Amino acid sequence: MELIEVYNKRIDSGELVPDTDQLKTLQALQDLTTILNVYQPKNSWSFFNIFHKKKSKPKGIYIYGGVGRGKSMLMDLFFESSKIEKKQRVHFHEFMQKIHEELHEARKKNVTEAIRPVAEKIISQVNLLCFDEMQITDITDAMIVGRLFEFFLDAGIIIVSTSNRHPDELYKNGLNRALFLPFIKMLKQELYILNLDSTTDHRQKTLANNTCFFYPLNEQTFKRIDNLWRQLSKDNSSPLILRNKKRDIKIPHHNNGIARVTFDDLCAKPLGPSDYLLVAETFDLLMITNVPKLGPENSNEAKRFVTLIDTLYEKQIKIIISSETKPEELYQDGIGSFEFIRTASRLKEMQSENWGS
């Protein structure tokens, strides 16, 4: 069944709503599917490269656009429909973490060019790589990713990726960015760059029909927030570990640029501004559940919560919260409780329909 047929069936079932801009991107993914069905090698991409001219190798696709436009959903349709057996769909941050671990192991063996065996291992395992949420915010990633993709593309791996940014905007203003520019040039040469410029934020439409600050913490709140998470995540999520230097930040649930955590996950642990910045740079929407009423006995947690909300506010990240009480009553007694008035005000502002759009 062609991708557009699958898409239309989901519209008929009410799972999706029609979007002409999505259809343009879907057609490009359908074209790539058709090409891959014709050119897929019988054994390996090395066999393919020997018997076909390099210009015959299909280009991949890089889809960029605003949050909630359906980029990841369309890529997932493509991935599910692809007949290529050796394929992988992975969150880009998670993928790069794995690369760093593999490089560490290779260097312990005193390998001269550690990235080569790491790339060759992946090349032996996949013919199609689909990356969700490609972004480069770390100088180490910026220095590695170009060489890594060079190996992948030379080996004939097809890459499809989503991102909130045009390639020219990746690692913008980053340290030593000039060294990163060849990677951007390679992306633009080897992948079709498609802008999913839909005017409809499908995620925002879901949020517009729901309250985004739930209290008190009772059975009704638990059911409502669980139902909202199922809608946003399409009832499909997985854990993710973000690594900030040597510290791990455990995200229990994530999917397509959104995440669900508890208050304790981010505020009862010794995390700081750089950790929260990494969270804000990784996700477009953050659901924080089980926020307790704060006081002198948990003033450290309150301080972290203030830092977290400030960071999410500055980065214009959408939030959904379940809490023991309303924002202005969350922290009325303790060190910094007076300053919390600003945080309560920000929490209210971040519930507005146009926040982060």
CATH number reported for the structural domain that contains residue 15 in this entry: 3.40.50.300
Do 41 and 171 have their domain in common? Answer: yes
Do 112 and 214 have their domain in common? Answer: no
Choosing from 170, 195, 220, the residue where a domain stops is 195
Biggest CA pair distance of the chain: 73
Percent of the chain whose predicted confidence (pLDDT) is above 70: 90
Percent of the chain whose predicted confidence (pLDDT) is above 90: 56
Mean pLDDT of 326-330: 94
Do 211 and 271 have their domain in common? Answer: yes
Split at pLDDT 50, 70, 90, the class of 51 is very low
In tens, the pLDDT along 131-146 reads 988 988 888 899 899 9
Q: How far apart are CA 299 and CA 306, in angstroms?
A: 10
Is 173 within the bounds of a domain?
Answer: yes
Whether the pLDDT of residue 162 is over 50: the answer is yes
In tens, the pLDDT along 15-25 reads 888 888 899 99
For residue 34, what are the domain limits?
A: 3-195
The total number of structural domains in the chain stands at 2
Is 356 within the bounds of a domain?
Answer: no
Quick one: tokens of 75? 């890529």
Whether the pLDDT of residue 55 is over 60: the answer is no
Ramachandran angles phi, psi of 327, nearest 5°: -50, -45
Q: Contact 343/310 with Cβ under 8 angstroms?
A: yes
Is 264 within the bounds of a domain?
Answer: yes
Q: How far apart are CA 127 and CA 47, in angstroms?
A: 12
Q: Strand pairing of 191-195 and 60-64?
A: parallel
Flag the least confident range among 132-141, 173-182, 257-266: 132-141
Is 354 within the bounds of a domain?
Answer: no
Is 263 within the bounds of a domain?
Answer: yes
- How many other CB atoms are there within 10 angstroms of residue 108's CB atom? 9
Q: How far apart are CA 125 and CA 133, in angstroms?
A: 22
Q: Report the length, in residues, of the chain.
A: 357
In tens, the pLDDT along 102-118 reads 998 999 888 888 999 99
Choosing from 178, 195, 212, the residue where a domain stops is 195
Is 355 within the bounds of a domain?
Answer: no
Choosing from 167, 195, 223, the residue where a domain stops is 195
Q: Would you state the pLDDT for residue 14?
A: 82
Mean pLDDT of 300-305: 95
Whether the pLDDT of residue 198 is over 90: the answer is no
Is 357 within the bounds of a domain?
Answer: no
Whether the pLDDT of residue 1 is over 90: the answer is no
Do 306 and 191 have their domain in common? Answer: no
Whether the pLDDT of residue 289 is over 80: the answer is yes
Residue 245 region, left (φ>0) first, then alpha (ψ -120 to 50), else beta? left
Split at pLDDT 50, 70, 90, the class of 41 is very low
Q: Would you state the pLDDT for residue 40?
A: 54
Mean pLDDT for all residues in the chain:
87
CATH code: domain of residue 208: 3.40.50
Is 323 within the bounds of a domain?
Answer: yes
Q: Contact 93/282 with Cβ under 8 angstroms?
A: yes
Do 157 and 211 have their domain in common? Answer: no
Do 185 and 314 have their domain in common? Answer: no
Do 148 and 278 have their domain in common? Answer: no
Split at pLDDT 50, 70, 90, the class of 339 is confident
Do 7 and 139 have their domain in common? Answer: yes
Flag the least confident range among 45-54, 62-71, 116-125, 312-321: 45-54
Handedness of CA 80, 236, 25, 167 (dihedral sign): negative
Question: What DSSP line would sit under 86-98, residue for residue?
Answer: SEEEEEHHHHHHH
Task: Judge if pTM exceeds 0.75.
Answer: no
158 by DSSP, 3-state: which? strand
DSSP state of 58: P
Do 331 and 218 have their domain in common? Answer: yes
Split at pLDDT 50, 70, 90, the class of 355 is low
Chain centroid to Cα 330, Å, comes to 30
Omega into 292 within 30° of 0, i.e. cis? Answer: no
Q: Strand pairing of 213-214 and 191-195?
A: unpaired
Split at pLDDT 50, 70, 90, the class of 281 is confident
Q: Would you state the pLDDT for residue 126?
A: 94
Chain centroid to Cα 126, Å, comes to 21
Do 157 and 241 have their domain in common? Answer: no
Do 115 and 218 have their domain in common? Answer: no
Do 136 and 234 have their domain in common? Answer: no
In tens, the pLDDT along 215-231 reads 999 999 999 999 999 98
**145: closest CA among 169, 122, 120, 115?**
115
Helices (H), the chain: 3-12, 20-39, 45-51, 71-81, 92-108, 115-125, 139-154, 181-190, 202-208, 219-233, 263-267, 273-282, 299-314, 340-349
Q: How far apart are CA 256 and CA 162, in angstroms?
A: 10
